Amino acid sequence: MSVHNGELLFVKSVKDGIPNRDPLQDSDARRLFPEEDGRISLSDVSIKRDVRDYVLEAEPNGGVSQRNYIFVQGKVNDKGKLLGRGSLAEWIAEQADKKNEAKENMKSVLLSHSFDARAFGIVYSVKSTSFHLTGPVQFGWAHSLHPVDSQYIQGTVVMPSTDAKDGEDGKSQGTIWTSYIVPFAVFAMPGVINAKNAEQTGMTVDDQELLLKGLWQGTQHRQARGRGQQQPLMLVHVEYKDPFFRIGYLEDLITLQPGETAWREGGRRPSSLKDITLDVSELVRTLEQYKEKIERCRIWVHPSLRVESDITPYLQPLW
């Protein structure tokens, strides 16, 4: 069974943190829209990192089949130095017992044994070997569904940053830290799965299912203080019969209630899931409109999210 042309829509929330900071703006939230618009954004890099880190934990040592190693990862050698592309590729080939084959065809080895190479593509250039494959899975930027005000905060660390040495006094006080946080935000991220590119990288239906599970559980798994408390809320996967067709811009077919007027003119900002309802009425109508072109549509929803419109025909049990 081959992978179908498809689209993804992933909605998630974050509390008290910023999942993807902007180093050019003092690590504040990323703002691709004008300041007066108020929305903030997350890059596809952070989403892919969530999936990769999930697969690393869920499929140790490449999994039972040894097909699910992760090529793009921060792995260090015995001396604590980060491995580069060539060393990572050789390590995967060694783990999969394909060292000899890798000398002749590293591309084949990586596509056979690296989940992220098959799903997200790969750029490889080491010595005399180079190749580039566009991944079948591509994500757009995730934008908040409402204006967001980030807050600048500071605190103190009790532990001194230096010790007393050679009779000299060390730091007698802790250090001060500063950071930006977002109290609460809901993001929608679009994605596509290209069936033709899947043929080229060898992405399978099993890879696709691992990707979907990784989006959901990876968001819950990769937690850190600065990233805040993240929660997957809704995941939509639409598969098409025609490898050249897609509806497009699924993220524009959902809205957050009570609506734009309340967020902008009223000065309100949602502070929790209790303050919002996700209206998917237009999405459901569009799915019905194009049902003859749709092979299958599946929707996963967190039980705490209020959803307006009937998605029962598409609803899936959570992992």
Return the percentage of the chain with pLDDT > 90, whole number. 69
Helices vs strands, H then E, count in the chain = 9, 15
Least confident of 6-10, 66-70, 261-265: 261-265
**174: β partners:** 160
Instruction: Indicate the SS3 state at residue 10.
Output: strand
Alpha carbons 115 and 23: distance in angstroms, whole number: 29
pLDDT-based confidence at residue 182 (cuts at 50, 70, 90):
confident
Is residue 111 within 8 Å of residue 202, measured between CB atoms? Answer: yes
Q: Residue ranges of the domains in the chain?
A: 6-147+180-314
pTM of the model: 0.91
Phi, psi of 315 (to 5 degrees): -70, 135
Q: How far is CA 105 from the centre of its chain?
A: 30
Least confident of 62-76, 216-230, 235-249, 302-316: 216-230
Average pLDDT score, the chain: 90
Residue 20 has pLDDT above 90, yes or no: no
Which pLDDT value is given to residue 319? Answer: 92
Which pLDDT value is given to residue 173? Answer: 64
List all residues 6 or more positions away from 313 whose beta carbon is below 8 Å from its beta carbon. Answer: none
Structure tokens that stand for 154 in this block: 């500071």
pLDDT-based confidence at residue 79 (cuts at 50, 70, 90):
confident
According to DSSP, residue 275 is labeled G
Structure tokens that stand for 124 in this block: 């490889």
* pLDDT tens track for 296-308: 999 999 999 999 9
Instruction: Indicate the SS3 state at residue 308.
Output: strand
